[in-house]
Amino acid sequence: MSGPDQRPAPARLSGRLYGVGVGPGDPELITLKAVRILRSAPVVAHFAKRGSAGNASATASPYLAPEQTVLRLEYPITTEAPPAGVSYAEVLHGFYDRAARLLAGHLDAGRDVAVLCEGDPLFFGSFMYLHDRLAACYPTEVVAGVTAVGAASAVVGKPLTRRDDEFRVLVGISDEDSLVEGLTGADAVVVMKLGRNLDKVRRAVERAGLLDHAWYVERATMAGERALPLANVESGSAPYFSLVMIPSRLTR
């Protein structure tokens, strides 16, 4: 593992690190600033799962030119179980260390590096693992992006929060009782990270008395977009780009 103090001192004019939010998926929901930075950066990096182009890369591809260097940072593990004797956290930690070193090489050589981030870079984004490792050593700028939360509200077409609403973002990996508690105390809720937790999340929403107001939104603003009442969703696993949204209590 490499910390900032173990890296050679950067050249006098190091490159600039950008975390660029590319928005929720529709390439038109990227900001002008993101496009400007993507077009001007000699090096563009993005995370991707093995066997996948990466959604952030697909969203940004219309704005990239052939002469730019594209670094594909491929997650080492695609299945749930890491190799025997190694924790998933350790594997990921090493992966992020190596990715940060790769980027640092370009930054040290004076090249700006733009990291593509689905949604917003600092809202549940993998960019923050690079930010943790590099922001103290290189000039760093984050370009905020439209999140999946905003995209889902627009697709469902209901105000998410209004007036004095308390809004919560919960994650599906929490246990069922915590989810019920979180759902009950809020005026508007989004539940992210559904995956294999979809059925548990639905049970929690039902126990909180909110099933009639809950929407399931999949791939908002992307090809294959779906939005339907959570009560009508088939049982099973939800894809990565999915969430549950319960709009403002004042709108239901």
By the criterion CB under 8 A, which residues form the site for its own copies?
21, 23-24, 26-33, 35-36, 120-125, 128, 131-132, 135, 140-147, 149-151, 153-154, 157-171, 173-174, 182, 185-186, 193, 221, 251
State the minimum distance, in angstroms, from the CB of residue 36 to its own copies. 7
* Smallest separation, CB 134 to its own copies (Å): 12
Cβ proximity to its own copies, 120 vs 218, nearer residue: 120
Element containing residue 113 per DSSP (H, E) = strand 113-117
Give 2 or 178: the residue with its C-beta nearer to its own copies.
178
Output the six-digit token pair for 52.
């996948």
CB of 234 to its own copies, least distance (A): 25
DSSP state at residue 10: P
* Residue 9: other Cβ atoms inside 10 A: 8
Is 160 or 246 the residue whose CB approaches its own copies more closely?
Answer: 160
CA separation for the pair 138, 7 (Å, rounded) = 12
Q: How far is the CB of 117 from its own copies (least distance, A)?
A: 11
Question: Residue 109 or 222: which CB sits closer to its own copies?
Answer: 222
Residue 252 beta carbon to its own copies: minimum distance, rounded to whole angstroms? 13
Q: Nearer Cβ to its own copies, position 44 or 170?
A: 170
SS3 of residue 141 by DSSP? strand
Nearer to its own copies by Cβ, of 5 and 28: the residue is: 28
- Per DSSP, the three-state class of 181 is helix
The residues near 230 (Cβ < 8 Å, ≥ 6 apart) are: 202, 205, 211, 214, 215, 216, 244
Least Å distance, CB 160 to its own copies, is 5
Task: Assess contact for 99 and 4: CB atoms under 8 A.
Answer: no
How far apart are alpha carbons 40 and 71 in whole angstroms? 15
What 3-state class would DSSP assign to 81?
coil
Q: Extract the tokens encoding 158.
A: 């209901």
